[in-house]
Amino acid sequence: MDIHEHQAKEILASFGVPVPSGGLAFSPEQAAFRCRELGGGRCVVKAQVHSGGRGAAGGVKLCNGEEETREFAARLLGTSLVTKQTTAQGKRIDRLWVEEASRIAREIYLGFVLDRKSERIMIVASGHGGMEIEDLAESDPDSLIRMVIDPAVGLAEYQARELAFRLGLEGKQIVQMVTVLRACYRAYRDLDAMMVEINPLVVCEDGSLVALDAKMSFDTNALFRRPTVGAMRDPGQEDPRESFAADHGLAYVGLDGDIGCIINGAGLAMASMDMIQLAGGEPANFLDIGGGASPERVCQAFRTVLSDRNVSVILVNIFAGINRCDWIANGVIQAYREVGIEIPVVVRLSGTNVEAGRKLIRESGLPIISADTLAEAAEAAVAARPSTAAAAE
């Protein structure tokens, strides 16, 4: 789960990371008021969306005084910001963060991520901040410093000092950097985070360190024990299809194709998407209904897939181990009766209670297309698309 910049700063500040003063605004008038609170002079207005690259996309501006702040806020609020990390539709701007302007001497990149190879938290840092980490890795890979943290010891002070030296910091800046690094590590560890990023961490003209931007994401599987973090969720920044699926316990990722997929198991789902593309089609989604799927759960999966208006065919592919094919068949039939399906549905069942499931489908009297293998199911789904059928005629 991602959170906004101002929320990440609030968390990191509570652990001891220095951040600029600022305030949240939901209207141009509130933005002007926040500018006045900061002294009425220069301030930075930032669109709060779940995406990087906001500055290059026009979502961040240094404003001079209340009037310029109000005008910029009026232009941003209610619009969508398209960055290189968003879709073509962008992310809607419903809130702004207005903070004091900093006098920057140099910028540093700082990130905490899980290194799957060592199975430990890794610090990634660079003395060339202000750029995306992907850009840094490509343009200046030698500038990246990587440091793995032993979970039995935590981030030792000597490690933090070594990193500060390697970043070229001096004097009191080294003490401040140790504080920042250890605060970020505790925030990552104590809140079940998956990523903490400060970019840039700036060295101001007076020599002090300030986190000018911050980003955090969290393990959704651990949110049940982090209610204060879970309360920071902003559904307005999420794909509505994925939000609906998450609310019903379904693993769903929206894609750009027109063949809706309802499948059990992530591996089988990936294989099915590959087979659809091999047959000449494009999947509209990744959806894993998981094990032990009841007819009601299958029905919710149909509702989720059908919420995408681009879907013209639905492919149901089940290899039942923990699941039962008769449960899935009952779910498909229930979906027809309750959801009102008006597009072709292809069903391929295999595994536990497969004969009972196929019998239910045959005797339902519904126009369901049955297939025995994954390849047959993918080809049938592609052939059932309206565009394919029209071309064949």
**Does residue 171 come out as left (phi exceeding 0), alpha (psi in the -120 to 50 range) or beta?**
left
Polymer length in residues for the chain: 393
Which residue do the tokens 């560890």 mark? 189
Beta bridge partners of 216: 196
Residues 262/266/272/276 CA torsion (nearest 10 deg)? 80
The sign one gets for the Cα dihedral 291, 294, 297, 302 is: positive
Are 167 and 127 a contacting pair, CB within 8 Å? yes
Q: Is 242 a catalytic residue?
A: no
Tokens of 24: 């949240």
Compute the distance between CA of residue 133 and CA of residue 136 in angstroms, rounded to an integer: 5
Tokens of 84: 């290189």
Q: Which of 141, 321, 307, 309 is nearest to 240 (CA)?
A: 307
Tokens of 77: 């609020």
For 41, the 3-state DSSP assignment is coil
Are 100 and 77 a contacting pair, CB within 8 Å? no
Q: Which of 99, 109, 185, 379 is catalytic?
A: 109
Q: What does each C-alpha distance from 190 to 7, 186, 261, 380 come to in angstroms?
A: 16, 6, 37, 50
For 66, the 3-state DSSP assignment is helix
Distance of CA 267 to the CA centre of its chain: 21
- Give the helix/strand (H/E) hosting 110: strand 104-115
Q: In sequence order, what DSSP letters do the residues of 320-357 get, joined into one string?
A: ESSS-HHHHHHHHHHHHHHH---S-EEEEEEETTHHHH
Compute the distance between CA of residue 144 and CA of residue 131 in angstroms, rounded to an integer: 12
The 10 Å Cβ neighbour count of residue 83 is 19
Q: Is 138 a catalytic residue?
A: no
Q: Which of 99, 197, 252, 336 is catalytic?
A: 197
Are 353 and 380 a contacting pair, CB within 8 Å? no
The catalytic site residues sit at 109, 197
